[in-house]
Amino acid sequence: MNRWIDRACRAVEALIAACLAVMVVLVFGNVVLRYGLNSGITVSEEVSRWLFIWITFLGALVALRERAHLGVDMVVAKLPPLGRKMCLGASQLLMLYVLWLLFEGCLAQTKINWDVEAPVTGASMAVVYASGLVFAVLAGMLLVIELVRLLTGRVADDELVAIQESEEAAVLAQVLAEGSPAASHAARKELGQ
């Protein structure tokens, strides 16, 4: 199951890269055409905006899988494993509830905007709100899988914190775990701690 999810995440990352490449070509091409030839790509702004929305939601999905969302784990990290499991389960249930609210809202907006045409492309504005639907469904599936893993005891102790501290805190923790007192002091001084 994990291999399939990892492959799907790599496919999503490739899709994000393709969307970003299309955005760059559209925006850069539009700038060159406007200043160089006094013309432009009419759909550039609209399509770029839509791609940016989709990139944001798809990127959040990949970050959820990789536990790359930033957060504070000061309290949770100090708890015993049972406490961390309870906090992780509660956070996953809360995220599932928020995803349900997002799904309901995006579904309503998709239905409302199904027949609304975009000003330039003439495409349905439902494309914008469908990004939230896709995110809510896929993120919900990831969270349900993780919740099942938690309930069946297949989550390792190092996976019990669902967020990631800042990069500086991670570097400091690594230096403190590995290094000499001089390196630890230098790292603390550099990070202002």
Q: Which of 99, 76, 78 is nearest to 87 (CA)?
A: 76
Q: Is residue 98 in a domain?
A: yes
Helix (H, G, I), strand (E, B) or coil at 57: helix
12-59 tens-digit pLDDT: 999 999 999 999 999 999 999 988 888 888 888 999 999 999 999 999
pTM > 0.85: no
Domain total of the chain: 1
Q: Tell me if 42 sits within 8 A of 25, measured CB to CB.
A: no
Q: Is residue 191 in a domain?
A: no
The pair of structure tokens assigned to 16 is: 């994000």
Q: Is residue 193 in a domain?
A: no
Q: Is residue 188 in a domain?
A: no
In the numeric block, the tokens 């990949």 are attached to 62
The pair of structure tokens assigned to 160 is: 């019990």
- Report the distance separating Cα 54 and Cα 16, nearest Å: 8
Q: Is residue 167 in a domain?
A: no
